[in-house]
Amino acid sequence: MRRIAVLTSGGDAPGMNAAIRAVTRTALAKGWEVYGVRQGYAGLMAGNFVPLGARDVSSIMQHGGTILGTARSSEFKTEAGRCKALHALGSFGIDGLVVIGGNGSQTGAYHLSQMGFPVVGVASTIDNDLYGSDITIGVDTALNIALESIDRLKVTATSLERAFLVEVMGRDCGYLALMVGIAGGAEAIVIPEVETNPDEVVRLLSEAYRRGKSHAIVVVAEGAKYNAEALAAHFREHQGEIGFELRVTILGHVQRGGNPGAFDRLLATWLGAEAVEALARGEHGVLVGQIKGEVRTTPLAEVVANRKPLDLSLLRLNDVLAR
Ligand code: ATP
């Protein structure tokens, strides 16, 4: 009989609970025992483990966040920290670990697997910056939350002839901003991957005003050199040229807190179940993700060595469509 553990790490993402449920019940169906690790790698080092039965994961799938809690731990980045984790895993007799999380979490999973422990990652982050999965758990829900906010801002912007600078999450990746900007009909999109001249954004806004638009939306990624605050400071000096009255909205953590939609629940279910199947066939040191519509595994060594590219041609498409 096997005994595995599952943890969530880094930023929480809607759908993590569905992944915990899928891991737990797939493993239980094989006759294995499952332990949940509280508070990510911090809990792993501290041996903060709780047994998970089928009923412990009842009715969690529809909720955002993670029932196990998550954390960021700098100690786990050290070999001494990871040795503590190996010791805790050994003392509970655990022989396989599933790590549900994003880039940093999978880097941690890679280093742990390099120390000889069987680890399988599940691709989960709202940032969608993880190589080895075209789309990660939480992205779709976060996109829809940001989009709903933009739709609402447009209503008030139109009434008052305003331009809104809307800052969305994504750390140093512009995926969320780019997709939400296109789907929300933004006049301009500012992302970290492309050097943006703030005067160019001023020009886009003033042209939109002169073309008779009743509102304008600029979607800005939090990791861009000119984030919403920096752009707003620049725009204040050019208020006369812009025409629109300016307002800034930073969406921040509201993007994380929503209940996962059908897409994220299903993705989390497929990936969580496959993580257990991978362990069952002796495959580890891999990330489970979705590639070209299929559930696939990619070696963690490849995941940490590569950066997922962003299709920048979509920025040009948006310039055309924003007319
Ligand atoms: P998100 O981007 O959605 O917030 P993430 O998994 O990228 O998720 P991070 O805060 O980057 O979140 O990483 C989570 C944890 O993973 C860190 O707090 C740390 O414990 C561990 N980690 C990150 N980088 C490394 C590393 N180089 N070596 C070992 N562990 C790491």
Residue 277 phi, psi (nearest 5): -60, -40
The sign one gets for the Cα dihedral 50, 51, 56, 60 is: positive
pLDDT at 232: 86
Average pLDDT over residues 44-63: 97
Residue 305 has pLDDT above 80, yes or no: yes
Summarize pLDDT for 120-132 with one digit per residue, the tens: 999 999 999 999 9
pLDDT at 1: 64
Q: For residue 229, name the pLDDT band (cuts at 50, 70, 90).
A: confident
Q: Are 85 and 41 in contact (CB under 8 A)?
A: yes
Assessment of whether the complete model's pTM goes beyond 0.85: yes
Residue 208 has pLDDT above 90, yes or no: no
pLDDT at 122: 98
Q: Which amino acid is at 299?
A: P
Q: Which amino acid is at 77?
A: K
Kindly give the distance from the C-alpha atom of residue 50 to the centroid of ligand 1, in angstroms, as a whole number: 22
- Return the ligand 1 atom nearest residue 72 CA: 18
pLDDT at 267: 98
Nearest CA to ligand 1 atom 14: 10
- Return the ligand 1 atom nearest residue 77 CA: 29
Q: What residue spans of 174-214 are helical by DSSP H? A: 175-183, 198-210
Nearest CA-CA partner of 19 in 126, 135, 124, 132: 124
**∠ Cα 29 31 33 (to 5°):** 105
**Ligand 1 pocket mutation pick from 77, 82, 115, 264 by most atoms within 8 angstroms of CB:** 77
pLDDT at 241: 79
Measured from the Cβ of residue 243, the count of other Cβ atoms closer than 10 Å reads 16
Alpha-carbon distance 120 to 6, whole Å?
10
Kindly give the distance from the C-alpha atom of residue 146 to the centroid of ligand 1, in angstroms, as a whole number: 24
- Return the ligand 1 atom nearest residue 82 CA: 29
Residues 6+ apart with CB under 8 A from 264: 13, 14, 15, 18, 137, 138, 139, 140, 141
Nearest CA to ligand 1 atom 10: 10
Q: Which H helix or E strand runs over 289? A: strand 286-291
Question: Judging by DSSP bridges, how do beta strands 286-291 and 119-123 pair with one another?
Answer: parallel
**Of 83-92, 161-170, 185-194, 308-317, which range is least confident?**
161-170
Question: Judging by DSSP bridges, how do beta strands 33-37 and 188-190 pair with one another?
Answer: unpaired
Residue 10 has pLDDT above 80, yes or no: yes
Kindly give the distance from the C-alpha atom of residue 153 to the centroid of ligand 1, in angstroms, as a whole number: 33
Alpha-carbon distance 36 to 51, whole Å?
6
Tokens 């963690």 sit on residue: 300
Count H helices and E strands in the chain, helices first: 12, 11
Q: For residue 192, name the pLDDT band (cuts at 50, 70, 90).
A: very high
Average pLDDT over residues 100-110: 97
Residue 36 has pLDDT above 80, yes or no: yes
CA atoms within 13 A on the CB side of 22: 23
Kindly give the distance from the C-alpha atom of residue 52 to the centroid of ligand 1, in angstroms, as a whole number: 24
Nearest CA to ligand 1 atom 31: 108
Residue 4 has pLDDT above 70, yes or no: yes
pLDDT at 255: 78
pLDDT at 204: 85
pLDDT at 24: 98
Nearest CA to ligand 1 atom 23: 104
In order of 170, 185, 199, the CA distances from 318 in angstroms are 19, 8, 18
Summarize pLDDT for 254-275 with one digit per residue, the tens: 878 889 999 999 999 999 999 9
Tokens 């512009």 sit on residue: 174
Q: Are 103 and 130 in contact (CB under 8 A)?
A: yes
Where residue 128 falls (left for φ over 0; alpha for ψ -120 to 50; beta otherwise) is left
Structure tokens at 42: 């911090």
Summarize pLDDT for 140-160 with one digit per residue, the tens: 999 999 999 999 988 887 777
Across the chain, mean pLDDT equals 93
Q: Ligand 1: list residues with CB < 6 Å.
A: 9-11, 41, 72-73, 76-77, 101-105, 107-108, 111, 125, 127, 171
Higher-confidence residue: 51 or 319? 51
Proportion of the chain above pLDDT 90, given as a percent:
74
pLDDT at 243: 79
